Amino acid sequence: MDSPLAPQWLSRPQDTAALDPKIFSAGVARNGGEVTVQGLGVTELVERFGSPLWVMDENDFRSRARQYVDAFNTAFAPLCGGVDVFYASKALLTVQVAQWVKEEGLFMDTASGGELAIALRAGTDPAKIGLHGNNKSDDELQTAISKNIGRIVVDSLSELHRVEQLAEQLQLRANVMLRLTPGVDASTHEHIATAHEDQKFGLSMTPAPGEETSVAYQAVHFAAATKHIHLVGLHSHIGSQIFDSQGFETAATRMLEFIAVLDAESIQVAELDIGGGYGIAYTEADDPDGPEVIATNLARHIDAETARLGVDCPRISIEPGRSIAGPAGMTIYTVGTTKTVWVEHGGEHYPRRYVAVDGGMSDNPRPVLYDADYTAVLANRVSDVDPVFSRVVGKHCESGDIVVNTVYLPEDTDHGDLVVVPATGAYGHAMSSNYNMLTRPAIVAVKDGAAREIIRRETYADLFAREVDL
């Protein structure tokens, strides 16, 4: 029987050994009962590299990256020419990851001086780098201008004026895209929706009360008329972990309508970036479209809208992050303590089993930040003991330190077992911390059946490394 404490979408699994291919990376399977990545067992991986452990299926990452390039170029080629796919590096960035991105023919989207430094360190062609941020420092802007990166995505009128001044001082011309807020309320968690009016990102497309023109309009005119700015195009990003294509289409329409207005004033907008945000499956409840479906629908929509408005199709770019890195990654944890509590619900009491693992909100803060759901499997063996309604928790000093809020795990899952949480490749390592002075796990990349560390595990020496005057 399903637990009355379980959310509606979660059903008691027929087979607790099953690995849902829409959630796990392509290289994951069971062999002799054990979860393997490209044939490498989780027990061996933990013996070699320690626990907890982030594992990136490098082949899976690369193939998802390529699929975006291929699908978008195929769908858009007949109408807008090629599409530039920028990998949103905030999802997961190391120098090696940046090299995978480069080798697969993607461009790099960065959102800080640090991300930019890693992209450059990986040898990314500056012309293929974009820099985002609602509050870039002068230092970050000067680096971007002097490296002549492909696009600085300017977020406000005041930043636009600053870019112009800095470029003039450097006697250079800055490549600028303008990030606009098309007023779309994307259906996702409010902390990761970014195109509605009342939030910090972007130039508003709606004139303020009493004004004739919007700040977006004023910014385009300023950028187009200014010597030290090369206006590359316009940008919109509506949010993240989005499944419904309606939001992307509405945003594209508003951007193209604006482009038509500018076109009538002889300001040609050469490029349009429609951002990232494509959702992935974290649990059985999620059913994301693949890149082919997303690309085909968007191409059809943009084709119809450019025809309706009588404008040429600009060169399109996109910025997927999560949908490339997320499904390629998983986290292996070791089980420590367990307990069962009885929870009152509708006058009855029902059991919930707590399974505590050796990581938590320091390696994945998404559950505590966004109420994000995940799933987990017993990974070092299969069990024929019945599954029980469980919650996987971490080892931090907070009751909100939840790794997987609701999941059915075999009742004998216990001390020393390994548990795998899939789909942790994006915004896990990227948002990790040393809370409670936990040392961060290593990242191991598995490629063609061989595993290697790309980020080593932190040690206590790392915790002391920034202490001054020890």
* Contacts to ligand LLP by CB under 6 A: 88, 90-91, 109, 132, 192, 237, 240-241, 275-278, 319-323, 366, 370, 426-427, 431
Nearer to ligand LLP among residue 55 and residue 88 (C-beta): 88
**Degrees to nearest 5, angle at CA 441 with 394 and 241:** 70
**Minimum distance of ligand LLP from residue 370's CB (angstroms):** 6
Residue 196 identity: H
- Measured from the CB atom, the residue of 279 and 441 that comes closer to ligand LLP is 279
Amino acid (one-letter) located at 57: D
Supply the minimum distance, in Å, between the C-beta of residue 183 and ligand LLP: 16
Residue 433, both tokens: 């911390």
Whether residue 52 contacts residue 363, with contact meaning beta carbons closer than 8 Å, is answered with yes
Question: Considering the complex, what minimum distance in angstroms separates the CB of residue 361 from ligand LLP?
Answer: 13
Torsion of CA 302, 243, 154, 260, to 10 degrees: 20
Is residue 154 within 8 Å of residue 166, measured between CB atoms? no
CB of 99 to ligand LLP, least distance (A): 19
Nearer to ligand LLP by Cβ, of 92 and 174: the residue is: 92
Query: Do the beta carbons of residue 188 and residue 250 sit within 8 Å?
Result: no
357 closest CA partner among 418, 405, 441, 409? 418
Nearer to ligand LLP, 49 or 427 (CB): 427
Q: What is the nearest approach in angstroms of ligand LLP to the Cβ of residue 187?
A: 14
Distance CA 21, CA 244 (A): 21
- What is the smallest separation between the CB atom of 431 and ligand LLP, expressed in angstroms? 6
DSSP code, position 227: T
Nearer to ligand LLP, 222 or 243 (CB): 243
Distance between CA atoms of residues 35 and 30, nearest Å: 4
CB 332 within 8 A of CB 34: no
Q: Where are the alpha helices (DSSP H) in 265-363?
A: 291-309, 322-325
Total Cβ atoms within 10 A of residue 341 = 11
CB of 177 within 8 A of CB of 232? yes
What minimum distance in Å lies between the beta carbon of 232 and ligand LLP? Answer: 15
- For ligand LLP, the closer of residues 178 and 335 by Cβ is 178
Least distance from ligand LLP to the Cβ atom of residue 348, Å = 35
Q: State which residue, 57 or 417, has the beta carbon closest to ligand LLP.
A: 57
**Pair of tokens at residue 338:** 């367990």
**At a CB cut-off of 8 Å and minimum separation 6, what does 302 contact?**
76, 79, 80, 252, 256, 313, 316
Residue 316, both tokens: 């399109």
Catalytic center residues: 397
Nearer to ligand LLP, 325 or 418 (CB): 325
140 touches 116 (CB < 8 A) = yes
Q: Are 363 and 51 in contact (CB under 8 A)?
A: no
Tokens of 404: 């997987």
Residue 122 beta carbon to ligand LLP: minimum distance, rounded to whole angstroms: 19
Cβ(241)–Cβ(185) under 8 Å? no
* Cβ nearer to ligand LLP, comparing 89 with 390: 89
251 CB-contact burial (10 Å; exposed 0-12 / middle 13-18 / buried 19+): buried
The partner residues of 465 in beta bridges, in order of sequence, read none
CB 31 within 8 A of CB 398: no
DSSP string, 367-403: HHHH------EE-SS---SPEEEEEEE-SSSSTT-EE
